[in-house]
Amino acid sequence: MTVLLIILAVVALLAAVVILRTVAAKPTEAVTAKIELDAGPRADEYGSKLAEMVRTETISCRDQQDRSKFYTLHDKLEKLFPNVHAKCEKQVFNGSLLFKWQGKGNTKPVLFMSHHDVVEANGVWEHGAFSGDIDDSGRIWGRGTVDTKASLCCMLQAVEELIKEGFEPECDVYIASSCTEEWSGEGAPATVQYLKDKGVELAYLMDEGGMILEEPVGGVKGMYGMVGVVEKGYGDVKFIARSNGGHASAPVKNTPLVRLGKFMCEVEKNYPFRSEMSPTVREMFRRMTPNMNFGMKLIFSNLWLFEKLLLKLLPSISSAAGAMVRTTLAFTTAKGSDGYNVLPQEAYVTGNMRYIPHQDRDESIKIISEIAKKYDIETQVIYSDASCPVVDYNSAPFHLVEEVAKEVYPGVCICPYTMTGGTDAKFYKDLTPNALRFAPLYIDKQQYGSIHALNENIFKGALPFAVDFYKKMIKKS
């Protein structure tokens, strides 16, 4: 009886602690933060400039030889931003751009970057994919509006206005824009090599990444600015199964396609990569917890009790959140026999991997290779990059972004997070430990979902906020 009473007392105490910690997490001002889109002449001016940029089709792909369309856009940029081109030194690397605005040299240089190439735009769009239409609601339509000509337009406009105002920056300010980002091409590496040869060391850089979003995670209320401080590694991997082939009328067991199927099923059923709550993800959830619904708040306020359970459930609850805590592998293409009635002598599937820092490239490849061996499948790495250095969310550059973002977007909660996609910033790891991934633009859920998809668009009324953000960042650097 005494033992039972002790157990009940312990359970009651644990329950009390859990409830108290949950109730103590009071909602923050992010819950009530609202963004009133600019409806003035600045929005009209910036929207018209962005629309002009969108109307130049800049689809890029691997092995693209003709770069003339990128130079067509460059010519437009010269007309749209004359002060930038008159005052700044410009370098061009086979279609990729680098501007240098020389400052007083009192502090380390800073670099803002946003690529001007885009992905293909197939399918039927509400407005033409390269129309640059501006509808009655103020949405600018076209491929690249979100990813990422809008941020490029805003950073160039910020420098354009500061030059016109006679402002002289304390440090050199660089703006880089590659035309090969969408396929990890040579544009950014060429820019980096040029800067290395010049002995440039950056205080920080800011590339595309997170944006200003409402309810970025289901069940989390409020407005958030998501700043990427972790970029996962990238890998394209081929899994090959072989046999002697033969006629399909008399099939043997475990043919190449069957073995590949069993391999894929095992990976999906018993995911082999370890989930771990990194300091970045922990901090992201800590900042979001006060604005969660009660059930989520109860769990995230008490990770000391629920963390292991949460790590098991998170990938099932949210694929995006799950990708922040582990290496991922997505099977993407496949090939078997060329004939309907022929057993393949060789069949393969490819997988796209994104390596988490706590289980990086070598360990992740080793794990998946060992599983493939069980099915007599060879693993061939086509392309692979390790994960990038993690930016400290307590660093001065992160705090600067946080400070400026809160000035431009009062009440918005700024959160560090783990990016699941890739950026050109990965090539700059030798130039700065502070590669921040953040485009200071407000977008809604439809616009977020339109990235690399149909009907990409952005509010022209969001552009003045981003211009003000970049101007403040330059003035405070």
Alpha helices in 176-327 (DSSP H): 187-197, 256-269, 279-288, 294-300, 303-317, 319-323
- Alpha-carbon gap, residue 365 to 360, rounded angstroms: 8
Q: Which amino acid is at 461?
A: G
Residue 9 has pLDDT above 70, yes or no: no
Q: What digits encode the pLDDT tens for the residues 357-409? A: 999 999 999 999 999 999 999 999 999 999 999 999 999 999 999 999 999 99
Structure tokens at 137: 């609601």
Residue 17 has pLDDT above 80, yes or no: no
Average pLDDT for 159-171: 98
pLDDT-above-70 percentage for the chain = 98
Structure tokens at 372: 């493939």
3-state SS assignment for residue 337: coil
Out of 9-23, 121-135, 350-364, pick the least confident: 9-23
Q: What digits encode the pLDDT tens for the residues 283-327? A: 999 999 999 999 899 999 999 999 999 999 888 888 888 999 999
Q: What digits encode the pLDDT tens for the residues 33-51? A: 999 999 999 999 999 999 9
pLDDT-above-90 percentage for the chain = 89
Contacts of 278 (CB under 8 A, 6+ apart): 230, 324, 325, 356, 357, 358, 390, 418
- Alpha-carbon gap, residue 188 to 181, rounded angstroms: 7
State the DSSP code for 147: I
Q: Are 278 and 315 in contact (CB under 8 A)?
A: no
Please state, in angstroms and as integers, the Cα–Cα distance from residue 310 to each residue in 296, 320, 354, 444, following that order.
10, 14, 21, 28
Q: Rounded to the nearest 5 degrees, what angle is found at the Cα of 8, between the Cα atoms of 5 and 10? A: 110
Structure tokens at 378: 């060879």
Q: What digits encode the pLDDT tens for the residues 440-461? A: 999 999 999 999 999 999 999 9
- Alpha-carbon gap, residue 126 to 147, rounded angstroms: 18
Domain ranges, ordered by start, for the chain: 1-31+275-322, 41-230+388-476, 233-272+326-386
Q: What digits encode the pLDDT tens for the residues 218-235? A: 889 999 999 999 999 999
Q: Rounded to the nearest 5 degrees, what angle is found at the Cα of 128, between the Cα atoms of 124 and 132? A: 150
3-state SS assignment for residue 347: strand
Q: Options 3.40.50.970, 3.30.70.360, 3.40.800.10, 3.40.50.300; which CATH number does 233-272+326-386 get?
A: 3.30.70.360
Domain 41-230+388-476 - what CATH class?
alpha beta
Structure tokens at 469: 């953000």
Q: Are 435 and 392 in contact (CB under 8 A)?
A: no
Which pLDDT belongs to residue 10?
63
Closest CA to 376 of 263, 251, 273: 263
Mean pLDDT of the chain: 95
Closest CA to 416 of 448, 439, 434, 393: 393
- Alpha-carbon gap, residue 278 to 298, rounded angstroms: 20
Structure tokens at 167: 């402002």
Q: What digits encode the pLDDT tens for the residues 122-155? A: 999 999 999 999 999 999 999 999 999 999 999 9
pTM here is 0.93
